[in-house]
Structure 1
Amino acid sequence: MTVDADAALVERYLEHVRVGKRLAQRTVELYALDLQKLLDNAQVAGVPLARVQAVHVRRWVAQMHGAGRGGRGIALILSGWRGFYRWLGLQDLVGSNPVQDIKAPKSPRPLPKALGVDDAMRLADHDDDDADPLLEARDVAIVELLYGCGLRVGELVGLDAVASGTARGWIDLDAGEAHVLGKGSKRRAVPIGHKAVEALQAWLALRPQLAGNDPALFVGRGGKRLSAQSVWLRLRRRSGQAGLATPVHPHMLRHSFASHVLQSSGDLRAVQELLGHANIATTQVYTRLDFQHLARAYDAAHPRAHRKR
């Protein structure tokens, strides 16, 4: 098959995803770019597209990786190539998919973004005197629970004011615990610090003015359960008001909770339990954050940390 014939084959496939699958124009354009890479590689190797083998694909992956392309970018390209060869198989033009078992190199897992202790305290202590007192009490309690308990935003908005047979989660102020329904429908109890207890008591005293008959712990102006998106927006706004350089989202407070508890205690298993992680490997990412904290402290304080100029 000639180069022109291969190019025509790619055009037929792009028409298929454009018309048959009704993919967005931008997606089709990205497919076209990825398949042009495939065409170029096949041409350099002197092999028609229908005769490309897994050994060719592995070589091209190694070349892309060696040129600096990240694992996620390579994975997207392979996904496009894999779909193309799957279509060729349906057309009886290839006997097997040479991309089927090819995996992209693993990308380094990015570190979670956590606030420093000072910034976390600044956010938690922020007091908006101009805000509606009802909403201010609610938002303070939200921040205290997210940072003080390490809750996911879904766990937070799923809390009810009192325990019931239908509650996804609830607060037990007498025991100083938040009972939440986490990932995999797994329940766990998380201790609530005294600052969070105080904030919750203040909010619960005002909550009936907004909540009506809704059992949700946190409600909006309309008296209905607060959505995760609303919590994101309120927290972003509040972090700006508190003077933080980076807009804060709920999961950043969860990361901050885990990082700060680990820095103080060094107990990885305890942090795993508090976060509700099924696997300790998920929690171990915070040890990297903890090491960064130690490295910064070393650089700032140790007389041997810097070379003489």
Structure 2
Amino acid sequence: MTATAPGLPQEAEAYLQYLAGQRRASAHTLQAYRHELSRLHELAAGRDLLSLSAHDIRRFVAKLHAGGLQARSLARALSAWRGLFRWLLRAGRLDANPAQGVRPPRASKPLPRALSPDQAAALLDGKPDDILEVRDLAMFELFYSSGLRLAELAGLDLSGDFSVADGEVTVFGKRSKTRRVPVGSQAREALAAWLAVRPQLASQGETALFVGQRGARLSMGMIRNRLDRWAQLRGLPVHVHPHMLRHSFASHVLQSSGDLRAVQELLGHASISSTQIYTHLDFQHLAKVYDAAHPRAKKG
């Protein structure tokens, strides 16, 4: 049995009793449902819960969202409300469930982390110490220069359809789409240095552009591990993963050009909406510049 909260409507209390007695809901679940039903009662502002419409529920959700409640919390509230109205519907107290068609706003995706231009320079500057680092520098310069995905870089061949030639890299991307992306001068220099020593590692007949100590194509996991090691040796304060170099490429190109469509093409995004997240990264960069440089932005 559950303790009665002052002011909670009779229908809500009966539903909680049903959850406790018939559904054997845990104390934690009952407490959570009581909280959400109390929230619904408060939003209804004295109105009978049986009189609420889908319009009312949408309005309640909008009000909670405007007040700062996150999408996951809104989804939990709606789940509890739907459960109550579904139970009332089965009991013949309602003709329709007013919360059934209402959906919470989508949870916002966390912004991808990107290196600053200075961090990117710190990652890629300096001379390699051995043949493996010559290879690694070529990989990471190409990552950052052309905004490749990890699978795209790992799949590159020495020559042929998916390779680097004439200052461009042709890759086999998502949805079986092929795209060509320019390769910057520093990446071309690093690739030339790697190609000069590649025969020392590559097995006879191996077609992969990037090979490991055993002479075969590098796996995506090995590339990921080598980048992590590389960043640690250079003292970067963040964990650097391959997709971060792709994010950094996109963010830095957008900061310099402002051309979102061009960045979309370079990244191989099917929809501009996938690229628009970098406008938020670009704004973060501009906001930091403003805070650092504008005389009226500085705190006294």
Classify the TM-score, shorter chain.
0.7 to 0.9
1:34 Cα offset (Å)? 5.7
The structure 2 residue matched to 1:157, chosen from 154, 158, 163, is: 154
Kindly provide the CA deviation profile for residues 110-140 of structure 1, in whole angstroms up to 9, marking residues without a partner as x: 44322111110110114453xxx34312221
TM-score, normalising length: structure 2: 0.73
Counterpart position of 1:182: 173
Kindly provide the CA deviation profile for residues 50-71 of structure 1, in whole angstroms up to 9, marking residues without a partner as x: 9986456446534643553212
Counterpart position of 1:104: 104
Instruction: Give the greater-gyration-radius structure (CA).
Output: 2
| Distance verdict in 2 for CA 1:297–1:61, change over 3 Å | closer
Counterpart position of 2:3: none
SS across alignment from 2:163: strand
1:100 Cα offset (Å)? 3.9
Measure the CA separation in 2 of the matches of 1:221 and 1:207. Answer: 10
1:261 Cα offset (Å)? 1.7
For structure 1, which runs of at least 5 residues remain unmatched after alignment? 16-27, 165-169
Counterpart position of 2:118: 118
Kindly provide the CA deviation profile for residues 25-57 of structure 1, in whole angstroms up to 9, marking residues without a partner as x: xxx999777655555557777999999864564
Instruction: Please say if residues 291 and 298 of structure 2, whose CA atoms lie closer than 8 Å, have aligned partners that are also in contact.
Output: no
Question: What is the alpha-carbon root mean square deviation over aligned residues?
Answer: 4.1
Counterpart position of 1:261: 253
Measure the CA separation in 2 of the matches of 1:40 and 1:218. Answer: 61
Instruction: Please say if residues 156 and 171 of structure 2, whose CA atoms lie closer than 8 Å, have aligned partners that are also in contact.
Output: yes
Counterpart position of 1:228: 220
TM-score, normalising length: structure 1: 0.71
For structure 2, which runs of at least 5 residues remain unmatched after alignment? 1-10
Instruction: Please say if residues 147 and 250 of structure 2, whose CA atoms lie closer than 8 Å, have aligned partners that are also in contact.
Output: yes
SS across alignment from 2:237: coil
| Distance verdict in 2 for CA 1:301–1:6, change over 3 Å | closer
Instruction: Please say if residues 82 and 100 of structure 1, whose CA atoms lie closer than 8 Å, have aligned partners that are also in contact.
Output: no
SS across alignment from 2:152: helix
1:188 Cα offset (Å)? 0.7
Matches within 5 A, 1:64-75: 64-65=64-65, 68-75=68-75
Matches within 5 A, 1:201-220: 201-208=192-199, 209-211=201-203, 213-220=205-212
- Tell me the number of residue pairs that the alignment of Structure 1 and Structure 2 aligns: 286
| Distance verdict in 2 for CA 1:124–1:47, change over 3 Å | same
| Distance verdict in 2 for CA 1:255–1:53, change over 3 Å | same
Instruction: Please say if residues 75 and 103 of structure 2, whose CA atoms lie closer than 8 Å, have aligned partners that are also in contact.
Output: yes
1:278 Cα offset (Å)? 2.4
